[in-house]
Chains A and B, each alone.
Chain A
Amino acid sequence: MNRTFLIARREYAAYAMTVGFWLSLLAFPLFAVLGGAVPILIKSSETVPAVALVEDGAATSGLAATVQDALAVETSRRRANALRQAAMAETQTTPDAGTEAADRVREIAESDGFDAGMAELRRVAPIAAAAWREPKPPITLAPAPAVVLAAAPGKARDDAARTYLSAGKKDRTVGAIVFLTRADGKPAARVWTARTNDDAVEDFVRDALKSANRREVFGASGVSPEVIVTSEQFRPQVTAYSPKASTGGEVSFRDRLPMLMGFMGGFLLWSLIITGASILLNSVMEEKSNKILEVLLSSASPTEILTGKVLGVAMLTLTMLLAWGGMGVGALAVFQPDYAAAVAEILIQGGMLAWFAAFMVGGYLMYAVLFAAIGAFCETPRDAQTLMGPIMMILTVPIMIMVMTMKTPDAPLVQILSWVPFFTPFLMVARLHSNPPLIELIGAMAGMFAFALLMVWLSGRAFRAGALSDVKLSWKSFGAAIKGGGN
């Protein structure tokens, strides 16, 4: 049997036959789910601050009532939005029709009240309606502490609020005290909170006072309060159109799917390549420190060893991709079959899968041989730190740029960086949704493969030199190995 294949097979089996590998394989989607769930859990477990409103000083009468009105409006808005979200959760299996139905639920709730909205939700999404949970209001109002009310307006009340809020949670009934005042005749407030970083109350009060000011100004101009409320609740119907939309007109979620897939594809590629290259680095380091590399060298050429290891870890990376891809496709097919069809269409008919595969091969080759050559000089991860530190810093660049590609895939900086071979695979995959010119795609890919071949040649020389060397890794020794070459 071919030596390269034997080494590749051992390399694959050494990792694939371990429980740790399969656990880490499951860890990625698990953490992805957790990553999405944690903000939701945090939000749902947040406590609603209890706030006391105190009209403080002359001509402040009515400001508290305005804030209360604003709270009622905001609570209604949140309920209407929550009805829409509940409807979306059940109706989004049919991408565009589902969104329309959910929007209609919100519209009814806003125009005809919550009960009418709930009735519509029961009609279009009965399961979601049965599981309905009231959204949390931004704040709850509570009576002001007597000690604060007893103090004289102004500084004395501030002192009283300071003392009151300094007490422990058990010894107070509110977490914030808002003194509603006037500054230059306009509504203003001094917001006291128990925590310095609590800006939820401040934000809500600011919006409420903006609304109060608007009502005062418009009211003074003779506009009735009903008109003001109606105008504040107005939600414009905005529809996006693009010649690049799949229908040639209105932009739907289906048209935005490639952008999300491009970003996710770029990130997936980055994760796979870095994981694979790191496995290779550790594997070579282990063989170097265990003195296995010298035994291998007496049985196979450095090229056979390097190729075998790169191939073995490539198979491992492919296993990871297939496992993650399989889990993703399976979950999509079960929970969102319509989206699954759209994703499949983009991947296969849109050509994204073919480009992804090509960029993966080039990207993996480039990083794998570099990491393997570094590993040949190192016995511990600490030894590798000299070169790995800067390389890992460089590798954070595509992650940052990939976020940019979602909104501005053709920005000059993104275009230029796409031609840097180290970034090409990630950035080009992330930019695929913007249909970059074919010449750019092929050119960047050709550059990447040319650079990957150069890396194979240079890293092969460094690997040969490093495998039998006792010298510690440094930029100088690595450079000398490349220059001096192997045997």
Chain B
Amino acid sequence: MTAALTLDGVNKRYGHFHAVRDLSFQVEKGSICGFLGPNGAGKTSTIRMILGLQPATSGRIEILGADDGRRVRNRIGFLPEERGLYKKMTPVDAIAFFGSLKGLPMGEGRKRARQMLEEQGLGASSRKKMKELSKGMAQKVQLISSVVHRPEFVILDEPFSGLDPVNQQGLEQMIRGLAADGATVLFSTHVMQHAERLCDKVVLLARGQKAFEGTVAEARATSRRFLELEGAIDPAACAALPGVTGVELVSDRDGVRVLKAALGQGGRGQDALKAAFLGGLDVRRFELREPSLHDAFIDLTGDNPDQDQSVKPTGVEAAR
């Protein structure tokens, strides 16, 4: 497959603050790529560099064959992290306006806007003003605005933030639809579940550095399986079970503990459990769990993706 996006050794500095370090990855045409990391990991800076809104301090970025996102801006759709539309415009006018900026004739933009709003269940709201729409509705309108011109590459910065579960599901369907229509999708998120469900590939970012690039399955494979045990169990005794390479105390309520026992390479959960029962450990509940992307992220980076890593650049450095 050919790459729709290539980053090669990209760095971004804001004065003394190093926001993105030596970042390299590729996104294949027609794929959905998750760009994952906690808040402040450097995702938005990277996206702005890809779009050409900010120059990279060093390194090379190529998108849709161009070395500057601005040259192919009409072929890109972008949904920023913090969203907003003209409050006094109707959804149809807003979508058509942003489409027209991307080269779509106004009349065609209006036609497509009505059709897409209808598909998203917003047909009845197409004549209302933006300020009269709910947040979920407004976000759908904004997403439609960013793809109405049928871009080849769609960049969505934290598209799920602020959406309720129903709208999140709807958005997931829209993203799948875009990819099915042949568009390449890169979306950033710090919520791993969306990436697990949607992505062909993920790029994990922590403190401005790439921690992983590959499929979700490959990411999970980097992490260890574990056995979750609950009961009045001594962590030291748990650590001595066969195949267990480490124990993490999840909770302790009046001596009843939840322990997470990591299984090493070749370690079998059945062997550990058998030894626990034979050894007389007070096991009241057990569960053998496959690692999630969330677990993989923690193992790969040592960070929790839900935690904020942001260090705000000072002055106008953010804009440079």
Instruction: Tell me how far the C-beta of A201 lies from the nearest C-beta in chain B, rounded to whole angstroms.
Output: 58
Say whether, besides A468-B48, A469-B318, A484-B320, A6 and B101 are in contact (CB < 8 Å): yes
Q: Which residue of A lies closest to B312 (CB)?
A: A470
Contact A481 B101 (CB under 8 A): no
B46 vs chain A, min Cβ distance (A): 14
Interface size class of A (residues with CB under 8 A): 20 to 34
Asked if A298 and B80 make an inter-chain contact with CB atoms under 8 angstroms apart, the answer reads yes
Instruction: Report A278-301 CB contacts with B as 1/0, cut-off 8 Å.
Output: 000000000001111011111111
Instruction: Give the nearest-CB partner of B48 in chain A.
Output: A468
User: A183 contacts the other chain (Cβ, under 8 Å)?
Assistant: no
Query: Which residues of the other chain, A, contact B84 by a CB distance below 8 angstroms?
Result: 289-292, 295
What residue of chain A has the Cβ atom nearest to residue B76's Cβ? A298
Which residues from A are CB-within-8-Å of B102? Answer: 299
1/0 contact trace for B57-85 toward A, CB 8 Å? 00000000000001001001010101111
Given A295-B80, A297-B53, A298-B80, also A480-B100 (CB < 8 A): no
The answer for the CA separation of A161 and B100 in the assembled complex, in Å, is 82
Contact A10-B97, Cβ < 8 Å, known A290-B86, A299-B102: yes
In the complex, are the beta carbons of A465 and B101 less than 8 A apart? Answer: no
In the docked arrangement, what's the CA distance between A216 and B146, Å? Answer: 94
Pair A465/B51 contact, Cβ less than 8 Å: no
Contact status of A299 and B320, CB under 8 A, knowing A292-B84, A292-B85, A470-B312: no
Nearest CB in chain A to that of B82: its residue: A291
A295 and B78: CB pair below 8 A? yes
Contact between A14 and B101, CB atoms less than 8 A apart: no
Instruction: Give min CB distance, B70 to chain A, whole Å.
Output: 7
Q: How far is the CA of A292 from the CA of B87 in the complex (A)?
A: 10
B82 and A294 form a contact (CB under 8 A): yes
Q: Are A469 and B88 in contact (CB under 8 A)?
A: no
Check B311 for interface membership: any CB of A closer than 8 A. Answer: no
Q: How many residues of B contact A (CB 8 A)?
A: 35
Shortest Cβ gap from B224 to chain A (Å) = 40
Q: Report Cα–Cα, A11/B88, bound state, in Å.
A: 12
A6–B100 touching, CB < 8 Å: yes
Interfacial chain A residues near B80, Cβ < 8 Å: 291, 294-295, 298
Complex-state Cα separation, A300 to B102, whole angstroms: 8
Known: A292-B85, A468-B54. A299 touches B73 (CB 8 A): yes
Chain B residue with minimal CB distance to A298?
Answer: B78
Q: Is the CB of A3 within 8 A of B101?
A: yes
Interface: B316 (CB within 8 A): yes
**Roughly how many angstroms separate A109 CA and B284 CA in the complex, as a whole number?**
119
Closest A residue, CB atoms, query B101: A299
Give me 19 A-to-B residue pairs in the complex whose CB atoms sit less than 8 angstroms apart, sorted by A's number. Answer: A1-B105, A1-B106, A10-B97, A289-B84, A292-B85, A295-B78, A295-B84, A296-B101, A298-B51, A298-B80, A466-B316, A466-B319, A468-B318, A471-B314, A480-B315, A480-B316, A484-B316, A484-B320, A487-B52
Q: Which residues of A contact B (CB under 8 A)?
A: 1, 3, 6-7, 10, 14, 18, 289-292, 294-301, 464-471, 476-477, 480-481, 484, 486-487
Report the 8 A-B pairs with minimum CB-CB distance, sorted nearest first: A290-B84, A299-B101, A469-B319, A291-B84, A298-B78, A291-B82, A465-B319, A468-B319
